[in-house]
Structure 1
């Protein structure tokens, strides 16, 4: 090589974080067809567990209770399930239930500005729902987040997002009447949860 010296740069590999647009393009191209349910969290693609009967049963009962409570007093709010929430440029979680205000909303994806409450049912994903998802929802300003812990037979209610956490938390047993912390007058009956 003569007088030339090879320059060796010691550099860590660069991690590519997928954007929502890249994730949607991959989905449309069929990249996830053999995986089942997937979601994008902080640029990483997660394959979610299958939805077993306990998850489906709890979600159905909570959805019915939320819909009934909304119809009685909140005609401007809708309960959607399941629906993708474009939380930021690198996250597209598929929430089990969203309470949203759809008036004048444009686009195909829910965004944090229309979300009033997010609910996740955790039959096998409690650590994920109370970890990465909780931090994501807090960071993107979701005003209220509920996690139905199927094994623990409880619902955790979080509100007042601050950074990557929620300043307020409460716990309710299955069977309790739960009042929303951020939607005054919204009461959800969980008496039928098994």
Structure 2
């Protein structure tokens, strides 16, 4: 009989140190989908636009770990974090640091919606943008309560987006 082993963050970090493209969700280790050209370009474009629009108002991290719970450490495509940068010198970001989280999804769309979004809502991440490359839409998730987001908006490529916690910032997402 096989036994499933569930990891805690500390064990995961030791066991998978240096292993690229893995993340820990609810104690289970997932190999992330390979990054194709559309995904790569969308992440880099969003990174550029966020940094340009935010300046010193926030810290932007690309494909970096986020410590959610003792058994969950995903690697979102982009994190918009509270400044200053130095606050992350000796620790990983936690939900309290996150102003906005961005996932770019093509082949991972269903997984991001079904596995990651509930986890982010449960952790209290205030806002998640899911760049839906399949349908060329920005899915905006806000108001986390009870393990789900209570507000969901869909934006077309012509519409600009503004993070709730940075309302003075407006940017093109596509």
TM-score normalised by length of structure 1: 0.83
Q: Distance in 2 between matches of 1:129 and 1:19?
A: 21
State whether structure 2 residue 167 is matched by structure 1 residue 184: yes
Offset, 1:188: 1.6
**Which 4+ residue blocks in structure 1 deviate beyond 6 angstroms?**
none
Residue number in structure 2 paired with 1:111: 94
> Residue 138 of structure 1 contacts residue 166 of structure 1 at CA under 8 Å; is this kept in 2?
yes
Offset, 1:144: 0.5
State whether structure 2 residue 73 is matched by structure 1 residue 92: yes
Q: Distance in 2 between matches of 1:42 and 1:77?
A: 28
Whichever structure has more helix as a proportion of its residues is: 2
Of structures 1 and 2, the larger Rg is shown by: 1
State whether structure 2 residue 53 is matched by structure 1 residue 69: yes
State whether structure 2 residue 98 is matched by structure 1 residue 143: no
Offset, 1:61: 1.1
Q: Distance in 1 between matches of 2:63 and 2:50?
A: 14
Q: Distance in 2 between matches of 1:131 and 1:80?
A: 23
Q: Distance in 1 between matches of 2:147 and 2:133?
A: 24
Pairs aligned (count): 172
5+ residue gaps, structure 2, are none
Q: Distance in 1 between matches of 2:170 and 2:38?
A: 23
SS in 1 for 2:48: helix
5+ residue gaps, structure 1, are 1-11
> Residue 159 of structure 1 contacts residue 182 of structure 1 at CA under 8 Å; is this kept in 2?
no
Offset, 1:105: 2.1
> Residue 119 of structure 1 contacts residue 148 of structure 1 at CA under 8 Å; is this kept in 2?
yes
SS in 2 for 1:94: coil
TM-score normalised by length of structure 2: 0.92
Residue number in structure 2 paired with 1:19: 8
Q: Distance in 2 between matches of 1:174 and 1:43?
A: 36
**More off after superposition, 99-108 vs 86-95:** 99-108
SS in 1 for 2:69: coil
